[in-house]
Amino acid sequence: MGKITVVGMGPGTLDFMTIKSLETLKASPVVLLRTARHPVVKPLEDLGCRFESYDGFYEQHETFDEVYEAIAEDLLKRAQKEDVVYAVPGSPFVAENTVERLIELAPSRGIDLDFVHGTSFLDAMIHTLKIDPVAGLSILDAFKIESTEIVQTMDQLILQVYDQAIASMVKLRLMSFYPDDHEILIVRAAGIPGEERVKRIPLYQLDWPAHLGDLDHLTSLWIPRIDVRHDHRYRFSELVEIMKKLRDVNGCPWDRKQTHQSLRQYLIEEAYEVVDTIDNDDLPALEEELGDVLLQVVFHSEIAAENGYFDVTDVISGICRKLIHRHPHVFGALSVEDADEVVANWEQIKREEKAIESVTEAMKQLPMALPSTLRAYKAQKKAAGVGFDWPDVEGAFEKIHEEIDELLEEMRAEVRNEEKISGELGDLLFAVINVSRFLKVNPEMALNKTTEKFIRRFQAIEESEPAKDRGLENLSLEEMDNLWNRAKINDL
């Protein structure tokens, strides 16, 4: 078995190379390069170094991940027979995917790895821009920027911005977080005398033709941070910090005195306001109302954290674990046929998680704070899940008629019993909700829509000419009924 020695070639000049890396490359009969497209290769060849490169692999494979995998496999195969020296740009441990693959695979193949330090492009970048990264620096891969969190309050260094297509993708992503005219730096060939260029431009110009000559395999972007007071896109962690400050000793007196109990009403109100914006198809308002609900989540989490129970990270971790566990067809090997099977699996997993051993126990766990229509709907659904149900909706309709008769009987009794009347009315409402379940209609939403319809039609009565002339209270029931029917015809 051989050994693979990975050598860092530095950012692009002999001046940035370490003595050991230079000696290792000169002593090797042949050095394998991830790419020969590196400024230091020619000077090293002039010193007598002999190279073979993997540049051809980039043409043979469709994705960079496939290229890096193939390079790692080839190196491991060669090392089965002899020692191998493999050289990479910069440092072996900075933005070098092939090295990550070697570290992962080599132990199981019985191959030893050795590393010779090389100055990373970060050192050259810091030297060129004369900045201190200690205050916070985020290093991003342009290829992954669409799925990467952007932290505007930290400097950003973005790698692999080598052509117009990549520049356009990066620009569009960054413009969601920074002002369009935010000044950024295009840095090409940092630390390489005669080739180094630093250009300051507004963000919106990044993919303009005038700057394409600065984009190649040696180009990175430097995105200066934005002051927290700037009108930028805030992140979730900043919301948490704002809440901490509001609850601090020197924070807001109102926020400091709130408890879980005092905030209860606001959470309910905000949830209803979200539903209202959805019903009205008002997306700008929905954005705002979802923020208000999110505030309540952060508020309650901060109160709990102050008392040592849990914090917002625990809340997020809990829901992430729940989603993963309850979606084995996505995160596991389970196969499902349709959405109904997904729901059935969800309920089964939920019962197992909560150690619910009976349907009755599941019903008892339905929150009392739920609107009574929804609590009834869910209880009926759980009973139906084990077969306690009408064979079809006709049976549910017949039950409504039965409950109407029983209610009328109590109302006509010689001795009026308010408790029995209330019970029979509840039975009737429960039966109506059962029909809504059969029809897969949310009873709360259906009743709310009908209430809105009632208000609109009554408004038409109140704003009618007879009501304005004589006063609403002076109209007869027959007149109001006619006006109601007119509003109904007008589809109000």
Q: pLDDT digits over 275-315, tens only?
A: 999 988 999 999 999 999 999 999 999 999 999 999 999 99
Q: Which residues contact 207 (CB under 8 A, 6 or more apart)?
A: 164, 167, 168, 171
Look up residue 400 and give its two tokens.
Answer: 């409504």
Residue-level pLDDT at 231: 59
pTM of the model: 0.59
Contact status, residue 177 vs residue 150, Cβ threshold 8 Å: yes
Is the pLDDT reported for residue 492 higher than 70? no
Domain 236-310: give its CATH code. Answer: 1.10.287.1080
Distance of CA 305 to the CA centre of its chain: 23
Distance separating alpha carbons of residues 102 and 152, to the nearest angstrom: 34
Tens of pLDDT, residue by residue over 48-93, are 999 999 999 999 999 999 999 999 999 999 999 999 999 999 999 9
Residue-level pLDDT at 73: 97
Whole-angstrom CA distances from 357 to 276, 360, 377, 384 are 37, 9, 21, 17
Tens of pLDDT, residue by residue over 440-467, are 999 988 998 899 899 999 999 999 998 8
Q: Evaluate whether the domain defined by 3-119 bears CATH number 2.60.120.10.
A: no
> What's the mean per-residue pLDDT of the chain?
92
Q: Which residues contact 405 (CB under 8 A, 6 or more apart)?
A: none
CB environment 389-409: b (16+ within 10 A), e (fewer): beeeeeebbebbeebeebbee
- Which fold does the domain 123-223 belong to in CATH? 3.30.950
Residue-level pLDDT at 298: 98
Residue-level pLDDT at 59: 93
Going from N- to C-terminal start, the domains of the chain cover 3-119, 123-223, 236-310, 445-489
Residue-level pLDDT at 339: 83
Residue-level pLDDT at 419: 94
Q: Where are the alpha helices (DSSP H) in 47-150?
A: 55-60, 64-79, 97-109, 121-129
CA angle 168, 173, 175 (to 5 degrees): 95
Is the pLDDT reported for residue 362 higher than 90? no
Distance separating alpha carbons of residues 415 and 83, to the nearest angstrom: 103
Tens of pLDDT, residue by residue over 194-214, are 899 999 999 999 999 999 999
Look up residue 145 and give its two tokens.
Answer: 């920027």
Percent of the chain with pLDDT over 70: 99
CA angle 152, 147, 216 (to 5 degrees): 80
Higher pLDDT, 401 or 369: 401
Strand order in the sheet with 112-116: 51-53, 31-33, 84-88, 3-8, 112-116
Distance separating alpha carbons of residues 398 and 80, to the nearest angstrom: 80
